[in-house]
Amino acid sequence: MIRLRQVALVARDLDPVVADLAAVFGLKVAYRDPAVATYGLVNAVLPFGGEFIEIVQPVTPDASAARYLERRGGDAGYMLIFQVPDALRHRVRLEEQGIRTIAKLDRPDYTFTHFHPADFNGVLTSIDTQDDGRSWRDRLGPWTPAGPDWQASMAEPGIAGIMGARIQADDPAAVAQRWAGLLESETIPGHPAAIRLDNGTIEFTEASGRAGTGFTALDLAVVDPDLYVGRAESFGIETAECAVTIGGVAMRLHHV
């Protein structure tokens, strides 16, 4: 199986998005990774339970994230990062299928492969392994992209974790079947446009509105959805029933 460990949102200005996440959910920045400068970015990584929400901001005009912002018409979902026991095996398997890679890292403790978004229906996708002798299912296990001491910046107790994401696609059922093969997962019986993850699901829906195809929503596990919706309303942040919208992404709140 495969775990959705981190999601990335892209913003023209990351500070207001970080501020909204802090105001609504009490999230804290655990790490700002200097290595993302390679991609013309600055970032902030915030723990959400045992998973992570990253905000990236392009700071050079030729950054691919800058072009993505233009395509999506503003702040939007950008990247999904999955954790597996053996990322190198997935890299070899997908390269053999003709899936293109755009970045790789191989270290004794951490391996990642970023795959071309065009081969993942417009979503920048990474498959990573944290190799430190602990189970990849360890809810609060180490995670290099969040820094060496991310647990010191954990959110308040009512925040449980990330349960999944929604991706808009032109043919949701066909795209779900493709992703199931790419991630070695399976579609969910009775829900042909959704695939199973170790910690939740990826749901595919018809493309609509300015967003077009891409990652548009998150499913978040919290103890009290009404609390967070109320906070968002008090700060003038867009809300719906059991959902808030931050950084161009609808965050659907599920009681646990």
Query: pLDDT by residue (tens digit) across 165-180?
Result: 999 999 999 999 999 9
Per-residue pLDDT at 210 exceeds 70: no
Give residues with Cβ within 8 angstroms of 70, minimum separation 6: none
The predicted pLDDT at position 216 comes to 96
In a domain, 42, yes or no: yes
**What is the average per-residue pLDDT within 77-105?**
98
Query: pLDDT by residue (tens digit) across 149-164?
Result: 999 999 989 999 999 9
At residue 94, what are phi and psi to the nearest 5 degrees?
-75, -35
In a domain, 226, yes or no: yes
* Percent of the chain clearing pLDDT 70 (strictly above): 98
Give residues with Cβ within 8 angstroms of 53, minimum separation 6: 6, 7, 8, 9, 21, 27, 45, 46, 162, 218
In a domain, 143, yes or no: no
**What is the average per-residue pLDDT within 84-102?**
98
The Cβ of residue 171 has, within 10 Å, a number of other Cβ atoms equal to 14
Query: pLDDT by residue (tens digit) across 218-246?
Result: 999 999 999 999 999 999 999 999 999 99
Per-residue pLDDT at 213 exceeds 80: no
At residue 198, what are phi and psi to the nearest 5 degrees?
-65, -35
In a domain, 177, yes or no: yes
Task: State the average pLDDT for the chain.
Answer: 96
> Does the model's pTM come out above 0.85?
yes
At residue 240, what are phi and psi to the nearest 5 degrees?
-145, -175
CATH code, 32: 3.10.180.10
d(CA 81, CA 154): 19
Q: 7 forms bridges with which residues in the sheet? A: 53, 80
Count of domains forming the chain = 1
Per-residue pLDDT at 191 exceeds 90: yes
Nearest to 21 by CA among 216, 232, 240: 232
In a domain, 109, yes or no: yes
Query: pLDDT by residue (tens digit) across 66-83?
Result: 999 999 999 999 999 999
d(CA 69, CA 57): 10
Domain residues for the domain of 31 are: 3-133+157-255
The predicted pLDDT at position 211 comes to 58
Per-residue pLDDT at 9 exceeds 90: yes
Give residues with Cβ within 8 angstroms of 67, minimum separation 6: none
The predicted pLDDT at position 133 comes to 79
At residue 35, what are phi and psi to the nearest 5 degrees?
-70, -20
In a domain, 249, yes or no: yes
Amino acid (one-letter) located at 171: D
Give how far Cα 35 sits from Cα of 31, 105, 108, 139, 153, Å.
11, 12, 18, 25, 20
Per-residue pLDDT at 212 exceeds 70: no
In a domain, 145, yes or no: no
Flag the least confident range among 66-80, 100-114, 117-131, 196-210: 196-210
In a domain, 140, yes or no: no
Q: Residue 192 is inside which H or E element, if any?
A: strand 191-197
